[in-house]
Every structure is written in structure tokens, then in C-alpha cells.
Amino acid sequence: MEPVLSAVRRPSGTPSVLEIAFTEAVDGADRDDEMAARLLDAAYEQFCRMGIKRSTMTDVARQAGVSRITVYRRFATKDQLVEQVVRREFRRYFDRFIEDVRDAETVADRVVLGFASSLRAIRRNPLIGGLIAAEPDALVPSMTGDEGRTLSVVQQFVASRLRQEQSAGNLSGDVDVDMLAEMMVRVSASFLIIPSHVLDLDDEEQVRAAARQFLVPMLGPPHSPHP
């Protein structure tokens, strides 16, 4: 099975699938219409069950209960369909992250919840998490072969959240949010790609405790805004 990100890699200079998903999540872009959603749901189920490479447009049509022509009217090629499915999953990831940290009371709590949310959302996603579990060696090239663009998009997302914390007076203006986001994203990526024999990623409390002990201190001393 081909790595999911390399299967939808775009030409150099054009926005990546992850970049588009990030923009849609932040901007609250309109979601898919009923038929498109039906086909994407069917493709998602098919890809999770059989994998992307082994699935055909005919399989997706059968799963959706429509003709193959109907699928091709919406998605001219299998690559376009795969891109839309993956894009929707990452859009859901960003949506879930924003929702999970929304009610946290402090920036430290949001970092802890965000770290746990990120690992949980990706690892438990049947499509993306399944690829990580089944072919971890295939995932690394897809994340590093794009000159760091995949990690960069997530870094920009985290940095944008940290800048909001600075603007709200919750984080010192002296903190380099770009470097802080870079460190946090790389820590998360390493846990996703390389199995840990120390941290049990299925233990939510253990994951949160690790984030509070090792990631929260990166925020620096608690910020006290000037009166």
C-alpha cells in the first residue's frame, strides 16, 4: 500500500492537501454536499477495509450504492478521490483539535489537551492511523520527502494558536512561538512514527502527565500581564 500522503502529493509550489485542510478548518469552509459526502464516506470505508492501492472506483461505487459513472462525475480520477478523502480526514483532525482545547482554562491546560488530542486523533483514525500501524516505514518518506512541508503546516497551525495566547496575554511576548511550535510538533511526530517503550500512548492520563511535565515548561514562567 502506498503511503497516504505521497499518494496525494501535489506539484511543487501548489498548496498541499494538509495546507488546504488547515485553511478550511480555520476559515470554517463550507462542507461537502450530500452526494459528495456520500461518496467520500464510501471511499473512506473502502480504503480503511482494503487499503488505497487495492481499491478501485468500482469498489467505491458499489460501497456507495451508485453507478461508477456517478463517482466519475464527481471525481475524474482515483487520485482526486483519494485527495478529497485524506483532505477531509485532516480537516476533521484540525476541527477536533480546536474543539478539544476550547474549554481549557489555562494555556498550560490547552498544551496538555492539544498534545493528547493530536496523538489520539491520528492514531485512532482508521485510515491514517491504520497506515501508521501497518506501514510505519512507509510513512517516514511521505513526511520527509516533501522537504518538511507536512510538518511545517502543523507547525504553523500550532504557532497560530500560541500567537493567540500571546495576544490574549496568556503567554509572554518573549517566547519564540515558531520555535516552540516546532519543538512540540516534532515531539508529537516522533511518538507517532517511532514506537515508544516508555510512554504508553493508549494511556490518556500518562500522555497528559508527560505533556504537563515536559512540554508545559517550554512555555516559560507563568505570564503575569502588566496592569
Please write down the HEC assignment for all residues of 112-155: HHHHHHHHHHHHCCCCHHHHHHHCHHHHHHHHHCCCCHHHHHHH
Write the single-letter amino acid at 89.
Answer: E
**7: confidence class by pLDDT, cuts 50, 70, 90:** very low
Out of 15-19, 77-81, 120-124, 126-130, the most confident range is 77-81
Mean pLDDT, to the nearest integer, of 190-203?
Answer: 89
Does pLDDT of 6 surpass 50? no
Is there a contact between 95 and 101 (Cβ–Cβ < 8 Å)? no
As a dihedral over the C-alpha atoms of residue 43, residue 45, residue 46, residue 47, rounded to 10 degrees, the angle is: 80
Q: How far apart are CA 148 and CA 165, in angstroms?
A: 25
Write the single-letter amino acid at 2.
Answer: E
Report the share of the chain in percent with pLDDT over 70: 74
Out of 12-26, 47-61, 133-147, 162-176, the most confident range is 162-176
Residues 6+ apart with CB under 8 A from 47: 55, 82, 85, 127
- Does the pTM of the predicted model rise above 0.75? no
For residue 37, how many C-alpha atoms fall within 13 Å in the half-sphere facing its CB?
5
Residues 6+ apart with CB under 8 A from 61: 42, 67, 68, 70, 71
Does pLDDT of 172 surpass 50? yes
Please report the pLDDT score of residue 15 as a whole number: 57
Please report the pLDDT score of residue 27 as a whole number: 54
Work out the mean pLDDT of the chain and round it to a whole number. 80
**184: confidence class by pLDDT, cuts 50, 70, 90:** very high
Please report the pLDDT score of residue 8 as a whole number: 43
Q: Mean pLDDT check: name the lowest of 58-62, 98-102, 183-187.
A: 98-102
Output the nine-digit C-alpha cell for 121. Answer: 486523533
Does pLDDT of 25 surpass 60? no
Residue with cell 489555562: 106
Please report the pLDDT score of residue 12 as a whole number: 52
